[in-house]
Amino acid sequence: MQPFIVKLIGLASGRTVFNWVADGKFFEQFGNPDILSADLCVAATVVNHGATVDVECVINGKVTVPCDRCLDELELEVSTDFSEVYTPTGADLDLSQDIYDYVCTALPLQRVHPEGGCNPETIKFLSK
């Protein structure tokens, strides 16, 4: 699993910034066959208040998915963010699930190449 874990023990009070990279292996571990590869920068600003932790997370980069029309690889830009307030119950705050969820919901429902960008051989079969 990618290191999207904030160690709360020893975390200074106040603001701390974490920078991570999410790649294809991250999505594989969630069992997601739709994301073939990824190159995402994840920047998390964590504010430790003691009893609660505020997290502002910005995710930018690209993912590769199969085109819904021709099944060739399609690269999509991803730009999303989220803010959450957590009440930790342990020594670590794992942001992996939230990062995964926000990336997946940022993807369009229909994932196709722009007009004329699909594999022409596949389009021939679809046109029959």
Q: Once rounded to an integer, what is the mean pLDDT over residues 34-63?
A: 95
| Distance from C-alpha of 89 to C-alpha of 127, rounded to nearest angstrom | 56
| Residue 128 in this model has a pLDDT that exceeds 70 | no
| Distance from C-alpha of 47 to C-alpha of 73, rounded to nearest angstrom | 39
**What are the structural domains of the chain?**
5-127 (3.30.450)
- Closest by CA to 97, choosing from 19, 12, 43, 22, is 22
* C-beta atoms surrounding 74 within 10 Å: 20
Q: Once rounded to an integer, what is the mean pLDDT over residues 106-119?
A: 92
Provide φ and ψ at 23, rounded to 5°: -120, -170
Mean pLDDT of the chain: 92
| Residue 1 in this model has a pLDDT that exceeds 50 | no
Contact partners, residue 104, CB within 8 Å, separation at least 6 = 32, 35
Q: Once rounded to an integer, what is the mean pLDDT over residues 8-14?
A: 88
Enter the pTM of the model. Answer: 0.89
pLDDT at position 124: 80
